[in-house]
Each structure stands twice: as C-alpha cells, then as structure tokens.
Chains A and B, each alone.
Chain A
C-alpha cells in the first residue's frame, strides 16, 4: 500500500461526506412528544449548545461516525497488535522519538508567536533529548524542568487573533476547525521527515512510509479516547463543545 492511496481515500471521503451529508432533521413520528422545547425553555432564554459554530454538522457527524468505525475495525486492533508485539520500554522510546521530531514544528510556531522564553526551553529540550536522550529515544529534558509545550500552526493563527471558523472533522484525525485543518500542512513543512503535502507527492522511500505509519499508530496508542464510550446519545455534541473550548485554552498558552 502506498501512503498516497491512503490520502486519496481521504479525499474521496471528504467528497462523499460533503455531498451526501447536508444536515437533516430527524424524520419525526406522527404524535408530538410529551415534553417539548417550549416546556423547558423560559421566555427569552438562550441555548448554550448552539454557541458552538457548527454549520457543517451533517458532514461532521457523518465523518465522526466514520472515524468511529475506522477506529473500531482498523485503528484500535492495530494499536492492540502493536502493544502486544512491541514491549512497553520500546514503545516509550518510539513515542519519545516522534515527540522529539515534533519539536521542530513546536520551535517554528513559538518563533512565529514571538515567545522567546518558551522557544528557549523547547530548544533546550531538543538539544538535551537529541544528545543525552540518545537521538530522542529518552526524555531527560523533562526531569531538568524543560517541559514539553505542544504548539501547531493553528495555535499560531489563533494567537494572532484568527478565530477557529466552523468546526470541521478530519478523516481519521478527528476534531478540527477550518482554521486548524489546513494549518496541519504548514506544520509538516517544519517536520524533518514528512513531505508537506503527502497526497500530491509520491512517498520517496519505504522507510518514510513505515515511519509515517508507525507515527500514526504511536499517536493513537497514546490517546485514551475511545469513540462512543461516553454512554450518551449526545456524545458528538459534548466532544465538539469540549474540543472547541480546549483549543482556546491551548492557544492561551
């Protein structure tokens, strides 16, 4: 399999999602429900859940559900296989390694946000972990007080005042926004391994492909989130609301 075909599939998914999934209203039964909106909404009151800007809900909800299925049938089984084959200490090393590669994009974004203190700390991390930490396999920097700060180009745009725009769910990756989703391409420019626009450029080597897949599995393996385990018919809404607030919180730092 080529990574290229994977990204082409993503594009097709976008198209499918966007065309087939205009937001619909439920196909409501004939009798009205016992308890109506008018019964619970005092005159002049407002609805907080509508504060979250989600004009593409139909597409988003469809993609959320697609991601849940992908997670269940492909991603999580792969992660489980990875965990059973690769020992914990090696997995930690792999995780640290990718985190260390990610520092380039963190540095670029801290520079763009004009945050010299955090830039210095992140630079220190990169140096310490790449040397004493044996090419990033270990993370001694954290124990020296050089803690990790996750930055991305979406946060940089947010830092300079650009709002998130509509909520936008990406294939496989999950929650994002119109501001943050294209920003991921910029972040790849700063990445020492990846091509910035992988679906336009052929993967150069088998190694690069393997590294990319491993990075994906490692990322998923370190996220405890599981789709549809909140136990609520409204999980989509709660995740959306928390995600959008969480991004604001990240940008503030």
Chain B
C-alpha cells in the first residue's frame, strides 16, 4: 500500500521518479550560502537533503479540526467529503504566541513544507495553526465565498474569515495566546501580505509580524511560466505517454538496483540520483509543469462545478460517485491556468460586476495593489530566492525595492527547494522572535 499521503505521494512520485533519470552534475558553489543545488529547477523538485536540513524534531501531536464555514451551503453529492475544511493545531502546554501558516497553491493543512514550518515554529515555542490554501479543493467547496479562487483580495478575505471563525469557535477556549503572527509560502505568501493588510482594518488578531515566503508578485505571470513548462515540452497525449513511461522506467531501474524494498522518495535519495545523472532542463520543466497542472485541473473543475459556470462540466450536471468522468479529467488536464483565468474567472467576476476587465483581474491577482502598504509596514518581512523559477523579469527587483531592508534573499534554492535548509529555518524563526 501507499506510504505517503496522496498529495505528497503523487507530486513527490512524479517529481522524485523523474528526477532519478535526468539531473545534472552538481556544480561547485563558492559562496558562503551552503544550500547545495545550483539548478533552480532541480532545487524546486528535490528540496533539501537530510544532511543540509535544520535539525527539527517533528512534534508528535497534531490535533485536527473540522470547520463548517457556511451553515446553509449545500455540498454536491459527488463532493460529500468536502463539506468542511480541515486544519491542524500544534499546541503548546502553556501560554504562547500563535502563528498561522498558509499553504501554497493546491496545498492542504499538511505536507512536507507545512511539516518543516510547523516543526520549526513549534520547537521555537509557538502554538501553530496550519491552514489549507484557498485553492485547495475542500476550501473552494466549503470556505470560499465565490468558489472561484484566484483573486488575492477575495481569497484572503475568505482565509481571514476562516481564521476568525476557527479562533472564536474552536481555539479560543482551548489555548492561551499571547500574540498572533502569520506566515505562508508561495501563493500562501502573497495571501499573508493581504491578511496583514486586512487585519490592519479589522484589527481582530492585530498580527505582530508577518513573513512572506517565496511569493509570486503577479499570480498570472507565475502561472503563465508554469503553464509553459508543460505546454512547451509536452504537446500531445502521445508525448505525455512517453514522458510517463520514462518516469516509471527510470524509477524501476533505480528501485531494482537499490538495497531497499520501498521506493525511496526522500530528498536524500533524489540528491544521490542528482549526483549520478545528467538532467535536461526541458524534462525538469515538464515535471514541474505536470505537478502544477494536476493542482490547476483540480482547482478549475471544482470551481466550475461549484460556481455552475459550465466551463468544463456542463451546468446542471449531476454525477453519481460511480460515474465515469474521464472526459472531464482529460479536458481539465489539458487546460492551462491562464485559460481558466480568461474563460472562467473573467466571465464569473464580470457577472458580479460588469466593469471588471481582464487587466483589473490581473491586478487583483497581484501584490501591486498593496505596494504602499508593503513599503511602509514595518511588521512585514520577505524571504525569497534570487533564482526562484516562478518570477517574471523585473518582479524580484520590485520586491527588493518594496521590502528594502525587510527582505532576505537567498542566492539559490529555486521555488522553495531550500525551505528546510538550516539557514532558512533559522531565519524564519529569528524573524518572529526578534
């Protein structure tokens, strides 16, 4: 049987398996930052091998909570298991500061990056609350006001509501909290910035500090890059079959040769492969593009059904749990996030406000509306990588300019590859302790 949770299993499998065959030799790094992987695509896939990781003991007990957000919302039968969202709490015994962690695109309350962060903060003495991304399926169904995720302001308001509700109904009576903090990675980083901003107005939590990690600047610029990673390298089903077989064939060869009976998908085993083999960037791109596409396909079909947009699933369609939905699977996995934005999001939001143009939508899916706030708010910091693959030209400069001396930019690590690296973990914790 499986040894991983499904999201991790699939993304890691795809990533891990493929990496076995295709990674390039390690190039020498000559500066003081010790994260070992130079290629940002490879770093994104591999993560941080054990010997480079911060020494984190993983807290044993996470308490899971289920939250019903909208009393009257009817969950379609096909999605029965998503009538509530789930979030996690790592609880200190005594009064302590509480930190909310927001997952990245398509991310649940758990997963390798959530584990790294929650362990780091728990060990540093924080109560930790891990929240799913507003792009995660059950959040779209049970906690999103519009059920059409992608606009940072809307999605962050949904998150803020969830946080308030969770605190008032489930957490307040259970834990003693001194101060509130918030952080998030990738898309969750961008939402962290918005949450800090919303909190300035509503003053419910009065966040003392907020750390934005590997955030996109313009969501649609970033998804365009990720769409292209797949579309430029794999154009047809036939090509995908070749790619898929290559993944499994390489994995099988490595598995047969390895002295274990379990398929190893750890950063260490990938790093070993990395040092053995010769990668092509096109294959790394296709892999990252595939992983992103799986998230995007899930998001768009869920949003489509919940908003009854009739984009991929016709309006009014009812499916029993036993129904063959392969056709929707195929269409969704062959549709880019950019098409979703233009053909589902835009008409949906125009239905609410005819004035909205695509340009306005792009703007609301970016950090630009918060520029003044981010420039002047001393409580918000940034942690990012110079070589992050999701950044369009000029965006990193914009971030550096806006965050100024509140930014910490590492020279490499790709997109979140270095999150578990010891310097990065130390910085995350120090940021909130000081």
Which residues of chain A have a CB within 8 Å of any CB of chain B? 21-37, 39-42, 45-51, 57-59, 61-62, 65, 68, 72, 145, 147-150, 174-175, 219, 223-235, 237-239, 242, 245-246, 248-249, 252-253
Contacts and interface: CB of A to CB of B under 8 A. Distances in A.
Contacts of B318: 26-27
B161 interface: no
Given A225-B6, A230-B6, A252-B252, A147 B260 contact: yes
B316 A226 contact: no
Interface string B241-278: 10010001001100110011101000000000000000
Please give me the 5 A-B residue pairs with the lowest Cβ-Cβ distance, nearest first: A29-B316, A232-B298, A230-B6, A26-B319, A40-B334
Interface residues of B, number: 75
A45 B237 contact: yes
Contacts of B259: 145, 147
B101 to A, nearest CB: 17
Contacts of B252: 248-249, 252
B13 interface: yes
B321 A231 contact: no
Nearest to B133: A231
A32 B312 CA distance: 9
B329 A229 contact: no
Nearest to B325: A26
Interface of B: 1-7, 9-10, 13, 78-79, 81-82, 106-108, 110, 132, 136-138, 235-238, 240-241, 244, 248, 251-252, 255-256, 259-261, 263, 294-295, 297-298, 301-302, 305, 309-335, 339, 343-344
11 contacts: A34-B312, A34-B343, A35-B331, A40-B330, A47-B330, A58-B322, A223-B3, A232-B294, A233-B305, A233-B325, A252-B255
Nearest to B251: A249
Given A147-B259, A225-B1, A235 B311 contact: no
Given A33-B313, A224-B3, A242-B13, A57 B106 contact: no
B310 A62 contact: no
Contacts of B335: 35, 40
A245 B244 CA distance: 10
Given A49-B326, A68-B81, A225-B1, A231 B136 contact: yes
Given A27-B317, A31-B314, A33-B310, A230 B7 contact: yes
Given A242-B9, A249-B248, 13 more contacts: A26-B320, A35-B335, A47-B237, A47-B330, A145-B259, A147-B259, A226-B6, A228-B82, A230-B7, A234-B329, A238-B294, A246-B263, A249-B251
A37 B142 CA distance: 29
Contact of A238 (B6, B256, B305): B6
A25 B323 contact: yes
B5 A225 contact: yes
Contact of B326 (A24, A46, A50, A72): A50
B298 A231 contact: yes
A43 B110 CA distance: 41
B10 A30 contact: no
A82 to B, nearest CB: 15
B321 A229 contact: no
A29 B136 contact: no
B321 A65 contact: yes
Contacts of A23: 322-324
B311 A230 contact: no
Nearest to B132: A231
A30 B315 CA distance: 7
A78 to B, nearest CB: 16
Contacts of A58: 322, 324
Contacts of A32: 314
Contact of B312 (A33, A49, A150, A227): A33
Nearest to B64: A80
A106 B321 CA distance: 37
B311 A33 contact: yes
Given A57-B324, A234-B297, A147 B261 contact: yes
Given A42-B236, A223-B3, A225-B6, A21 B322 contact: yes
A225 B2 CA distance: 6
Q: Which of A26, A65, A223 has the most CB of B within 10 A?
A: A26
A29 B237 contact: no
Given A37-B330, A147-B260, A231-B106, A45 B238 contact: yes
Contacts of B132: 231
B297 A232 contact: yes
Contacts of B343: 34-35
Contact of A46 (B107, B241, B295): B241
Nearest to A245: B248
Contacts of A61: 321-323
B260 A237 contact: no
A226 B255 contact: no
Given A29-B317, A62-B322, A48 B108 contact: no
A48 B311 contact: no
A57 B316 CA distance: 23
B314 A29 contact: yes
B1 A223 contact: yes
